[in-house]
Amino acid sequence: MRTRSFSLAIAGLSTAGLLGWALAGCGPTASPSAAGSGDGPARVRVVATTTQVADFARNIGGDRIQLTQLLKPNVDPHDYEASPADVQAIALADVVVKNGVGLEKFLDEAISSAGFEGTVVDASQGVPIRTGNGTDEEKAGDPHIWQNPRNAKIMAHNIAVGLSTKDPADAALFQRNDTAYAAKLDALDRDIQTRIDALPAGQRKLVTNHDAFGYYVDRYRLQFVGSIIPSFDTSAELSGKDITDLVAKIKATGVKAIFSEASLPPKTAQTIGREAGVRVIGGEDALYGDTLGPAGSAGDTYLKMEEHNTQTIVDGLS
């Protein structure tokens, strides 16, 4: 009789033993909320969603904030899945900073699940929003507002205001950082304008992986020929008709080069480039559309990203 349940007993006993040991609770426990305390006056705990607003927050908040960034570089916001650490960070945060314009669909659920009751800073407040591409997802408009440095200034300022409200003691510091960063953004804006204007007028046309560059195109008066994925959703699969149509459009406008984004796979762009007989600029020199690049890459801060994109476009089209 005992042989029948022998192996069951072994497995059961070992599992029960583990459980008993666990519940007896030997050893000290590290409480998740203890992290970061004990080094001077408490820093503001900030959770930022996208790489861009996280970069802005870092520039504004400096070392007076403890920042958690949800989206990692090259991760499509549409594919993002919150991890336990992310939800926990939100639960323990003082301020949550988001891009807005409906980009972070996941955020509402994460916030309500975490039971967050602090301030949510919507960086898009006051930014002139372009119309979306007509899909449900873009009901609130085109979310890629950061592509125009003038919008970036507004976003950074919103973050400064939000942080100051939560932490009035450091308001002066946040204000100073905001002013300094705004100056850098102005300089960036002028620089890009100069370089784009230097391109021959007939060549200022853009074909990219997807419709992420609307604000950039509008600001610097380029012409947008079309995108390889005809919507903001980066996982829509192309049909044969889509490809044929885009190839025809490219040939018709005489565009010299098409641009692929760093966060999207180049195979589709290459297929279209081959068919249309144009250069495909991707891989290492790809544009940064949805996110900043990983640390150490050419686009790991907002300022560097805009510089890199502009240089790549100018090189490709001249």
Partner 1 sequence: MLHRLLVEPFALPFMQRALIEALLLGALGGMVSVFVLLRRLAFVSDALTHTVFPGVVLGYLVAQTRGIVWGALLFAVLSAVLLTVLSANRRVTEDATLAILLTGFFSVGVVLVSRRTSYTADLTGFLFGRILFVDRREIVETAVVAAVVLVALALLGKEFLLRAFDPDGAAALGYRIPLLDLALNVLVALVVVAAVKAVGTVLVIALLVVPAAAARLLSDRLTVILPAAVAGGALAGWLGLAASYQASVYHGLRLASGATVVLALVALYALAFAAAATRRGLDRLGWLNRPAPGARAST
Partner 2 sequence: MSTAAPLFADAFSRRALLEAVLVGALAGLVGVHVVLRRLAFFTQAMTHATFPGVVLAALLGVNLLLGTGIFGVLAVLAVAWLWSRPGAEETSVIGVVLAAGFALGVTLLSAQAGFTRDLSSYLVGSVLTVDRADILATAGVLIVVVLVLAAVGKELILGAFDRGALVALGYPAGLLDVVLLLLIEATVVAAVPAVGTILSVALIVAPAATARLWTDRLGRMTAIAVGLGVFAGAAGLTISQLQNVAAGAAIVLVACACFALSWLFAPRYGALGRWRAGRAAPLSTVDAG
Using CB under 8 A, list all residues that contact partner 1: 3-8, 10-11, 14-15, 18-19, 21-27, 29-32, 77-88, 91, 105-106, 109-110, 112-115, 135-137, 231, 233-237, 239
How many residues are recorded in the chain? 318
- Would you say 95 or 276 has its CB closer to partner 2? 276
Tell me how far, at minimum, the Cβ of 298 lies from partner 1, in Å.
24
Minimum Å distance from CB 228 to partner 2?
A: 11
The residue ranges that bind partner 2 (CB under 8 A) are 72, 74-76, 79-81, 83, 234-235, 237-245, 247-248, 263-265, 267-268, 270-271, 274-275
Distances (CA, A) of 181 to 57, 67, 318: 11, 18, 31
**Within 13 Å and on the Cβ side, how many CA atoms surround 306?**
29
Name residues whose C-beta falls within 8 Å of residue 56's C-beta, 6 or more positions apart in sequence. 97, 123, 152, 155, 156, 159, 181, 302
15 binds, among partner 1, partner 2, none (CB under 5 to 8 A by kind): partner 1
Q: Which two tokens stand for residue 219?
A: 């600001």
Nearest approach in angstroms of CB 33 to partner 2 is 25
- For residue 272, the minimal CB distance to partner 2 (Å) is 8
The separation between CA 273 and the C-alpha centre of its own chain, rounded to angstroms, equals 27
Comparison of 184 and 279: residue with beta carbon closer to partner 2: 279
Q: Which does 114 bind (CB under 5 to 8 A by kind): partner 1, partner 2, none?
A: partner 1
Could you tell which of partner 2, partner 1, none binds residue 115, using a CB distance below 5 to 8 A set by kind?
A: partner 1
- The DSSP element (H or E) to which 48 belongs, if any, is strand 44-48
| Cβ-based nearer residue to partner 1, 38 or 84 | 84
User: 188: which 2 tokens?
Assistant: 């960036």
Between the alpha carbon of residue 95 and those of residues 45, 53, 121, 167, the distances in Å are 6, 13, 7, 10
